[in-house]
Amino acid sequence: MPHLDAAHNLARWLVRNPADAQDIVQEAYLRAYKFFSGFQGGDPRAWLLKIVRNTSYSFLEKNKPASLTDEFDEKVHVTETGAGNAESEAVRSGETRLLHEALEHLPANFREILILRELEGLSYKEIAEVVNVPIGTVMSSLARGRERLREVLLRVREKEGLRDG
């Protein structure tokens, strides 16, 4: 199925639960199939991710109390890497963990825009289509999101430094 990894990645970051993300992606693909006749061309990936996004937010609205009590599972969000030496693997793993921790501290709107751009590689136009906002809003949200991410990363690193020192 096309774009399955991107769909699952977005759902997982939005709902923060791998089992729920799988259900959401399944539901989104069913909706995409059901409403495919309404697809008017353009980028099918952006169209599908918009469905995943809407399905995720519908799920969160319906299950808000449950989603607020779920803990973030670090193992779910850390991607596996190829073979390498142990030292570089440890550094990469630590950096990935810090980045994921920092992303978790961002408001959902910034996290969503950053995931779509930096992890999924969507263009500004595609992101605007997915989140249904003007391109200028995408650009400003991306800039603010990157700045907030930088600030959070600095705080997390400082906290890590204090803990290690």
One domain for residues 108 and 149: yes
- Establish if 25 belongs to a structural domain: yes
| Structural contact between residues 14 and 56, judged by C-beta atoms closer than 8 angstroms | yes
Between 109 and 94, the more confident residue is: 109
Asked whether the predicted pLDDT for residue 2 surpasses 90, the reply is: no
pTM across the whole model = 0.64
pLDDT per residue as tens digits for the range 118-137: 888 999 999 999 999 999 99
Specify the pLDDT at position 25.
94
Selection from 25-29, 71-75, 102-106 with the highest mean pLDDT: 25-29
For 16, left (φ over 0), alpha (ψ -120 to 50), or beta? left
Specify the pLDDT at position 40.
76
One domain for residues 66 and 116: no
Strand locations in the chain, DSSP E?
Answer: none
Q: Cβ–Cβ contacts within 10 Å for residue 129, how many?
A: 20
One domain for residues 110 and 148: yes
Q: Which two tokens stand for residue 125?
A: 């136009």
Specify the pLDDT at position 59.
92
Specify the pLDDT at position 95.
74
Residue ranges making up the domain that contains 69: 1-77
> How far apart, in whole angstroms, are the C-alpha atoms of residue 96 and residue 162?
19
